[in-house]
Amino acid sequence: MASYRAIPGVLSAVKRLLENRILQDNDIADFNPEIVILGNRELADKPSKNQIGLYLHRVSVDPIGRNRYISSTDLGQQAQPELPVNLHLLLIAWTHLGANEGLLIGWAMQHIGSALTLDISHMSVSDESWRSQEQVQMIPEEMSTENLLRIWDALPQDYLLSVPYLIKTLRVLPIEPPPSEVLVDTVITPIEVM
């Protein structure tokens, strides 16, 4: 099970993966692109070089896996509910040259493909609670042009060429209450005698 660290960790894993692919691809290396994780503060500035941005615009609970429980590895312990989380992000051509937008987005989309799988080999740096059998997929997300433009309307930047992606399903294990918290079985209230 992942911890809360897996949410930024997945973005960092995608960033590292694309950075490694840049080093292996001589054609794109000529454009000297950088991979950046963008937030609202970064989006308020204008791009100044060739960058491919990853912008997390929404986190949602996966409705399909909402009621799943993970069996405990310890004997005698109850199964724990998991929190299945989907990450919605935009892949953005964050560049100062309009002519490079299509090239940067096309290159990134080709390397992500129709489904990029991230597993413990990508995530162990960011989240040590990631288990060996766990993995997430980064897939293109269907989104209407209207919905995409609504996202951009809420951002501090004018529209830039972008493609929506979905990272599903990150399984976050809820934190157990500390053992010092004792549940109350019985409450005794005194009755006043008249």
Structural domains of the chain in order of their starting residue, each with its CATH number = 6-172 (3.30.2000)
Q: Which two tokens stand for residue 44?
A: 């308020």
Confidence of residue 44 (pLDDT cuts 50, 70, 90): very high
Q: Which residue has the tokens 């597993």?
A: 119
pLDDT for residue 146 is more than 80: yes
Residue with the bigger pLDDT between 175 and 6: it is 6
Host H or E run for residue 92: strand 83-94
Give the pLDDT of residue 5.
80
Confidence of residue 189 (pLDDT cuts 50, 70, 90): confident
Confidence of residue 178 (pLDDT cuts 50, 70, 90): low
Give the pLDDT of residue 161.
95
Give the pLDDT of residue 69.
73
pLDDT for residue 170 is more than 90: no
> For the residues 56-64, what does the mean pLDDT come to?
92
Query: Which residues face 81 on adjacent strands?
Result: 69
Give the pLDDT of residue 22.
92
pTM above 0.85, yes or no: no
Give the pLDDT of residue 45.
93
Give the pLDDT of residue 136.
83
Residue with the bigger pLDDT between 170 and 184: it is 170
- Range name among 41-55, 119-133, 162-176 with the lowest pLDDT average: 119-133
Query: Which residues face 117 on adjacent strands?
Result: 137
Amino acid at 112: I
pLDDT mean across residues, the chain = 85
DSSP three-state, residue 183: coil
